[in-house]
Amino acid sequence: MPNVIIYDSAWGLATHLYLRASEKVPIAPFEGRLAEPTESNIELAKCGQLKVSLPWLNTKKTVPDLNGHPVTGSSDHYVLYDRFHEANTKNCKDVLRKLTLVPQLAGRVNSQVAEQLFAKMKKKTTS
């Protein structure tokens, strides 16, 4: 499983995975959020002042985690919203699922291209 999943309904996917495999929580830490959902972290994220560095996205961990991903060496798994769907949730904790909180991902993921591809695919299958 990839370390970072970017999805339109991140909360729903994280909840689904958690409910299906609660004895071996596949989405961790923080239920797939980037930080512990404390009031302080939520406020910092809302103000754009929280940054969560995931350096193993650029350089594999020198000492991999137990059961770490073969490319990154990390066993952490996050489910994040793309920038077009960040407002899909009413849960204030999910501000901690914003892609822009991760310096290694901010500005590097173009989810608009994926949205356009899926729209074209849908158009072809329905015509």
The model's pLDDT over 66-84, given as tens digits with 9 standing for 90+, comes to: 999 999 999 999 999 987 7
- 22 pLDDT more than 70: no
Looking at per-residue pLDDT, the higher value among 112 and 59 belongs to 59
Largest CA distance in the chain: 51
- The model's pLDDT over 103-118, given as tens digits with 9 standing for 90+, comes to 999 888 877 776 777 7
How high is the pLDDT of residue 92? 93
Predicted local distance difference test score (pLDDT) of residue 87: 73
Q: How many CB atoms lie within 10 A of CB 61?
A: 14
Helix (H, G, I), strand (E, B) or coil at 98: strand
Residue 94's pLDDT is: 92
Q: Phi and psi dihedrals of 6, rounded to 5? A: -110, 120
Predicted local confidence at residue 41, as pLDDT: 98
Question: Which run of H or E residues covers position 117?
Answer: helix 111-126
pLDDT value at position 5?
92
Q: Which residues are CB-contacts of 14 (< 8 A; sequence separation ≥ 6)?
A: 27, 31, 32, 79
What would the pLDDT profile of 24-54 be if each residue is shown by its tens digit? 667 899 999 999 999 999 999 999 999 999 9
Read off the amino acid at residue 48: G
pLDDT at 25 (0 to 100): 65
CA terminus-to-terminus distance, the chain: 34
> What are the residue ranges spanned by the domains of the chain?
4-126
